[in-house]
Amino acid sequence: MVIVLECSECGGRIKIPDDVLEGEIFSCPDCGMEYEVYINNGKVELKHAEIEGEDWGE
């Protein structure tokens, strides 16, 4: 089974497998926005993924 959630940026459809684990990253197939999965009271939800930049040893 697949869960379909809406991209908050463009309204695209993001397909999430129902066996998803919290913390997994998914991208919108339309605009490329990345989301992190979190589970709130058993409900799968998406939040914008925090992209960590490289510090190149600084």
**DSSP states along 2-58:** EEEEE-TTT--EEEEETT--TT-EEE-TTT--EEEEEEETTEEEEEEPPPPPP-TT-
Does the residue 24 lie in any domain? Answer: yes
The answer to whether 18 and 3 are in contact (CB under 8 A) is yes
pLDDT for 15 equals 96
Does the residue 54 lie in any domain? Answer: no
Q: What is the pTM of this model?
A: 0.80
Does residue 57 surpass a pLDDT of 90?
Answer: no
What residues pair up with 6 in beta bridges, in sequence order? 13
- pLDDT tens for residues 9-29? 999 999 999 899 999 999 999
Question: Quick check: helix, strand or coil at residue 1?
Answer: coil
pLDDT for 5 equals 95
Does the residue 16 lie in any domain? Answer: yes
Calculate mean pLDDT across residues 26-51: 92
Which range marks the domain in which residue 21 is found?
A: 2-48
Calculate mean pLDDT across residues 35-48: 93
Does residue 54 surpass a pLDDT of 90?
Answer: no
